[in-house]
């Protein structure tokens, strides 16, 4: 039995997920993919079992292979980034022609030397060998055209470089946009919390002036809400059950101050416990109680429902016509809500704010799919 912990520890280390993830990432990294590609090319070249290759032939192909690799990687790692990507076309094509001519010249030297010492090997008598030999004696442009194989590989690798560069730039843009979104959302959340705290402290101050016995309970409710704001709402989604608890705590806190309001209806429910965006309801409830303070006789209706993957927030409350302009915008809180929805859920929500004679209505629908 003493060996059980050791075996368990060994198994835990063997199946360590970060370690395997690191191995997989290394195995499929860009340098590894390059190695796999050229291994396939080499194996394909020497996979024809009808011929038996001598050491001389293998060394010949190896030298050509090295020359080709040198040309391609000089192009992709030096010439394109330094010249072509910066639109220095003359320097780029001059560099390519010189390097290509050197590669062709090197190929011809290999052929001539191998043919001189090993004239019996068939490979040095193929039709394309004289073409290379003739190309090296002609102007660079003609040699460039004659070196068809080198040119084809060069074009393919140039296109691959641009494809990778385009993908890299798209990824960078996506990362920048994501970071900007996170910064803006953090700003909106940081703006929302002080705004809420400012309003709530005003409420507590009003209760303290009345010297009411409900002040300790109000402080307790505020403590619960602040704990949620600080430690639980800093995620993209939270449980609706937890949101419901905080909504009820906030409503109870506000009703302690507005004890003279009787005509209120609050409905908070869901057909199951969904994951929802945190605190979308807060500006709506703040707006209700802000205007309810000045319209104690007006009806107040609030619904927060989640049905069939749709979050529905509806509120209807009275407001003073003389402050209609302020009410129509909803203040900082409602503008904050609108911006959060635009950033997080473009095309997935509808937010309608309507002002009637003495009513202010907010109707929000958000798809959670």
How much is the average pLDDT of 110-133?
57
How much is the average pLDDT of 21-48?
63
| 172-180 CB contacts, 8 Å cutoff, 24+ apart | none
Q: What is the pLDDT of residues 77-95, one digit of tens each?
A: 899 999 988 889 899 989 8
Q: Give CA–CA dist 324/108, Å, rounded.
A: 88
- In the three-class reduction of DSSP (H, G, I as helix; E, B as strand; rest coil), residue 87 is classed as coil
What is the pLDDT at residue 96? 86
What is the pLDDT at residue 306? 94
Q: What is the pLDDT of residues 309-354, one digit of tens each?
A: 999 999 998 776 565 444 444 567 788 888 888 888 888 999 999 8
Structure token digits, residue 352: 């309608």
Q: Give CA–CA dist 244/279, Å, rounded.
A: 10
Q: What is the pLDDT of residues 286-297, one digit of tens each?
A: 888 877 666 656
Its pTM surpasses 0.75:
no
What percent of the chain has pLDDT above 70? 62
Beta bridge partners of 349: 366
Kindly indicate the confidence band of residue 73, based on its pLDDT and cuts at 50, 70 and 90. confident
Residue ranges covered by each domain of the chain: 18-172, 181-367
Structure token digits, residue 98: 């010189």
CATH code that applies to domain 181-367: 3.30.565
Structure token digits, residue 254: 């506000």
């Amino acid at each position: 039995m003493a060996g059980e912990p050791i075996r368990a520890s060994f198994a835990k280390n063997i199946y360590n997920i970060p370690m395997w993830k690191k191995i997989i990432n290394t195995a499929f990294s860009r340098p590894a993919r390059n190695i796999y590609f050229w291994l396939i090319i080499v194996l394909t070249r020497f996979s024809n079992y009808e011929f038996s290759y001598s050491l001389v032939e293998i060394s010949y192909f190896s030298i050509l292979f090295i020359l080709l690799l040198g040309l391609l990687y000089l192009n992709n790692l030096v010439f394109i980034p330094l010249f072509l990507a910066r639109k220095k076309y003359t320097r780029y094509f001059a560099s390519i022609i010189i390097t290509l001519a050197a590669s062709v010249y090197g190929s011809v030297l290999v052929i001539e030397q191998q043919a001189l010492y090993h004239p019996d090997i068939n490979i040095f008598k193929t039709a394309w060998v004289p073409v290379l030999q003739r190309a090296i004696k002609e102007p660079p442009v003609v040699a460039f055209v004659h070196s068809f194989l080198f040119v084809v590989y060069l074009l393919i690798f140039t296109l691959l470089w641009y494809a990778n560069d385009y993908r890299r730039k798209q990824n960078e843009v996506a990362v920048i946009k994501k970071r900007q979104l996170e910064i803006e959302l953090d700003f909106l959340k940081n703006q929302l919390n002080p705004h809420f705290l400012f309003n709530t402290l005003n409420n507590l101050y009003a209760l303290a002036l009345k010297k009411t016995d409900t002040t300790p309970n109000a402080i307790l409710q505020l403590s619960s809400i602040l704990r949620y704001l600080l430690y639980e709402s800093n995620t993209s989604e939270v449980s609706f059950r937890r949101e419901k608890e905080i909504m009820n705590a906030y409503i109870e806190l506000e009703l302690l101050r507005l004890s003279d309001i009787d005509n209120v209806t609050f409905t908070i429910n869901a057909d199951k416990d969904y994951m929802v965006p945190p605190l979308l309801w807060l500006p709506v409830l703040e707006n209700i109680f802000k205007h309810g303070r000045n319209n104690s006789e007006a009806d107040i209706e609030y619904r927060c429902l989640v049905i069939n993957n749709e979050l529905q927030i509806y509120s209807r409350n009275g407001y003073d016509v003389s402050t209609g302009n302020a009410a129509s915008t909803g203040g900082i809180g409602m503008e904050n809500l609108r911006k959060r929805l635009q950033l997080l859920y473009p095309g997935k929500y509808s937010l309608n704010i309507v002002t009637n004679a003495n009513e202010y209505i907010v109707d929000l629908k958000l798809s959670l799919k």
